[in-house]
Amino acid sequence: MGELNRRNFLKTLGVAGATISGIPANKLLAQSKSDLSEDRMGVLVDTTVCIGCRRCEWACKTAHDIPAGNLEDYSDESVFENMRRPANDAYTVVNRYENPADPRSPLNVKVQCMHCDHPACVSACIVGAFSKEENGAVIWDTDMCIGCRYCMVACPFQVPTFDYDKAIQPNIHKCDFCFERTKEGLLPACVEICPVEAITYGRRRNLIEVAEKRIELYPDRYVNKIYGFTEVGGTSWMYLSSRNFEELDFPKLGDKPAPGVSESIQHGIFAYFVPPIALYALLGGIMWISKNKDNKGEGKE
């Protein structure tokens, strides 16, 4: 199959998969792996293909109404002098690493939420603002968020970020797997814009087959590992690389789902610190007062 046809095939496969699976709104809070849809979607990031153009950063911001500036400005490579992390105004960033095997071809690593199969953020959230959707996306409800930031503590990839300047009206930020786009049958914005097929959207199980095939065909090009295949029980976003993943700042994690840790945080709080009803009441009260105050302020204006 030609490169373009293969690309179209995989992209079509991705959109069709999302449409067939229906992407229903029923949420899968802290479910066991056996409850996850076999047809859930994922993305395979091939760091050996990524050229570091950062068009995905621009597309992601544009799709989420974050001021993105001019696309041409993203060719400025001075940003690679510092390692960056996802932020309130950048749900994905691309970092650059040396490639000892080929110094002229550095490795570029796109970073965003991994959309874990067993998300620690979901089980850590005491009000159920986070959810794992059937299509694989981990999303959250801004209106439900009370700003406790347990999700930030629980996430093994340190992904969620927080509006500290709006601490009374909390808002968490992270990649939402372009949930609004994919439920309409569109590709995630970053996947759609990538000019070299470094990021491929499709059913997770198909992507694993694609990744295994690439490793088998090009053993000199890849380390024999798909990052995200088993880490913390598996993630929707998975990576291929020519360098050990720890050297690319991927955390070394076990196969055991991380929610066990976050559930311990919750259980500890509930058992030894404050009963949940009291905690909800306190945080809910703060939210209510804050929103009321804000509404009155807007009325005056």
Task: By CB under 6 A, name the binding residues for ligand SF4.
Answer: 50-56, 59-60, 63, 91-92, 94, 108, 110, 112-116, 119-121, 138, 155, 157, 159-160, 174-178, 188-190, 193-194, 196, 198-199
Q: Which residue lies nearer to ligand SF4 by CB, 109 or 208?
A: 109
Q: Kindly report the number of other CB atoms within 10 A of residue 133's CB atom.
A: 23
Minimum separation from the CB atom of position 165 to ligand SF4 (A) = 21
CA–CA gap between residue 256 and residue 184 (Å, rounded): 33
- The sheet carrying 199-203 orders its strands as 199-203, 41-46, 237-240
Could you tell me the smallest distance in angstroms from the CB atom of residue 277 to ligand SF4?
Answer: 26
Q: How far is the CB of 163 from ligand SF4 (least distance, A)?
A: 16
**161 vs 206, beta carbon nearer ligand SF4:** 161
What is the closest distance, in whole angstroms, from the C-beta atom of residue 85 to ligand SF4 in the complex? 12
Q: Tell the smallest beta-carbon distance from residue 287 to ligand SF4 (Å).
A: 22
Select 50 or 208, whichever has its Cβ closest to ligand SF4.
50
Given 3-state DSSP classes, what are the helix, strand and coil percentages for the chain, each rounded to the nearest 5? 40, 15, 45
Q: Is the Cα dihedral 37, 38, 39, 41 positive or negative? A: positive
Residues contacting 181, CB < 8 A, separation 6+: 63, 187, 188, 189
Q: Cα separation of 250 and 81, whole Å?
A: 18
Q: How far is the CB of 57 from ligand SF4 (least distance, A)?
A: 7
CB count in 10 Å sphere of residue 12: 12
Nearest by Cα to 109 from 137, 87, 80: 80
Of residues 29 and 196, the one with the C-beta less far from ligand SF4: 196
3-state SS, residue 227: strand
Which two tokens mark 222? 């890849």
**Would you say 30 or 94 has its CB closer to ligand SF4?**
94
Chain centroid offset of residue 142 CA:
16
Instruction: Name the minimum Å distance from CB 138 to ligand SF4.
Output: 4
CA–CA distances in Å: residue 200 to residues 42, 99, 239, 245, 275: 8, 22, 10, 19, 45
User: Hey, what are 254's tokens?
Assistant: 């076990």
121 vs 211, beta carbon nearer ligand SF4: 121
Residue among 51 and 286 whose Cβ is closer to ligand SF4: 51
